[in-house]
Amino acid sequence: MVKDSTYIDLVQAAGVTGAGGAGFPTHVKIAARAEVVIANGAECEPLSHVDQELMINRAPAILAGMRLAMQSTGAARGVFGVKKKYTAALGALREAIGDAGDVSVFEVGNFYPAGDEHVLVYDVLGRIVPEGGIPINVGVVVQNIETLYNIQAASQGTPVTHKHITIAGEVRQPMTVRVPIGVSLREVLDLAGGPLTPDPVVLDGGAMMGHVVGDLDEPVTKRTKLLLVLPYDHQLSVKRRQSRSEIEKHAISSCDQCFMCTDYCPRHAQGHAIQPHKLILLLASGIPLTDAQMAGALLCCECRTCNYACPVHLSPGDIAISVKHDLLKAGLKNPYHRMTEANPYREFRRVPIYRLINRLGLARYDRPAPLTDVPQMFKRVTLVLQQHIGAPARPVVSVGDRVAVGDVVGEIPAAALGARIHASIAGVVREVSASAIVIEVN
């Protein structure tokens, strides 16, 4: 049997990072000692289908990735947290698991943000992650479904060169595709027939946590998961294009301190000291953004549930995110590290996905997005050297070098947190800079 440390080395060599959001290097995560590994199959964002499509179509490989993560961390248990409504995915997983007693399935409710790792850990195990903490603080490692798929591939010597992405919204045919990392977002959208609306607004990451794409020629990264295409005048498009100044002025002038944004905050519901309504009050009072009273913003998970909760359609979540980033840039440290208790009304403050979709004006786009083969050959990729938390990868190729799919083109700097980057197409290196490497088919 391969030693646990060898699996960790293989995952590092393959450049595996978290595929569900922040992109934390996975080899570091699975080097921790844990009691339980939770697979996050709750698919947080409305209209995202990547995880459920992978579970339906690749359940044995995902289960193998789970077992490797358990072996590497020393975890005695593995739990798949999957929404109850994903019946096909649940069936595929249960068939793959069979009679095994060390891996189980936990059915998650159809609410937002079910996939927030703090929320998932509490729902599955009843453990509250402390303020400012991470799941390993309570003996848990949480891995995204696609990350587990990539862990299994890494154990066979296959690096991360492709990404699964759902294309949804105002497109001809919603679908989930597997494409080379580094192709342009425009090319990905074309696979679904392209935008059906003039001047489309594309949210990379989805309706709640995604950001507006400034240029469709931006490349796919290991973090890309959902491209949501909306008309320019869609309510969500209009709101996301507002400047920070507009958002803050609107909030200061209209907020009546009703507390509903704080009531629905999933982290506040677990006892954490974040109060979005109070941040608006502090802004209105003129307190500097870096004042210690603003520190609660550092506990924001950036889910924007509070935006949904606001009865007058303000954006307390965007304000909390802006304040949080200001505090981090100023070097302020989170003063909150308490072990907390869940609010007794937590279960009654869930946000049902169907209500969220209707509130956001997305009901017409709530359609299947099946995993679809991509026959197209891509001729050019731009491999960003920082697709993960930590230091950017260091280029190890030069202009004119020929590379094959899977060749290392970016290496982890010495003694740094980072992830390798691999060629996603075969071709010739055309450009090398401190930020990206361009490869073209010759």
| Tens of pLDDT, residues 180-229 | 999 999 999 999 999 999 999 999 999 999 999 999 999 999 999 999 99
Residue 407: pLDDT above 60?
Answer: yes
For the stretch 352-387, pLDDT in tens is 999 999 999 999 999 999 999 998 889 999 999 999
Q: How far apart are CA 56 and CA 54, in angstroms?
A: 5
Q: Is the pLDDT of residue 47 over 70?
A: yes
Structural domains of the chain, with CATH: 4-155 (3.40.50.11540), 162-234+363-372 (3.10.20.600), 243-356 (no CATH), 380-440 (2.40.50)
Quick one: CA dihedral 119, 125, 131, 136, positive or negative? Answer: negative
Q: What is the pLDDT of residue 4?
A: 63
Give, for 227, the enclosing helix (H) or strand (E): strand 226-230
**Distance between CA 417 and CA 32 in Å, rounded?**
15
What tens digit of pLDDT does each residue of 25-35 get? 999 999 999 99
For the chain, helix (H) and strand (E) counts, in that order, are 14, 19
- pLDDT value at 1 more than 60: no
Instruction: Compute how many other C-beta atoms are within 10 angstroms of the C-beta atom of residue 217.
Output: 11
- CA angle 251/255/260 to nearest 5° reads 115
Specify the pTM: 0.96
Average pLDDT over residues 150-166: 98
Banded pLDDT at 55 (limits 50, 70, 90): very high
Of all residues in the chain, the percent with pLDDT exceeding 70 is: 99
In this structure, of 117-121, 241-245, 287-291, 381-385, the range with the lowest mean pLDDT score is: 287-291
The yes-or-no verdict on residue 21 having pLDDT over 90 is: no
Contact between 222 and 163 under an 8 Å Cβ cutoff? The reply is yes
Round the average pLDDT of the chain to a whole number and report it.
Answer: 96
Q: In 10 A of CB 240, how many CB atoms?
A: 17
The answer to whether the bond into 219 is cis (omega within 30° of 0) is: no
User: How far, in Å, CA of 215 to CA of 116, rounded?
Assistant: 28
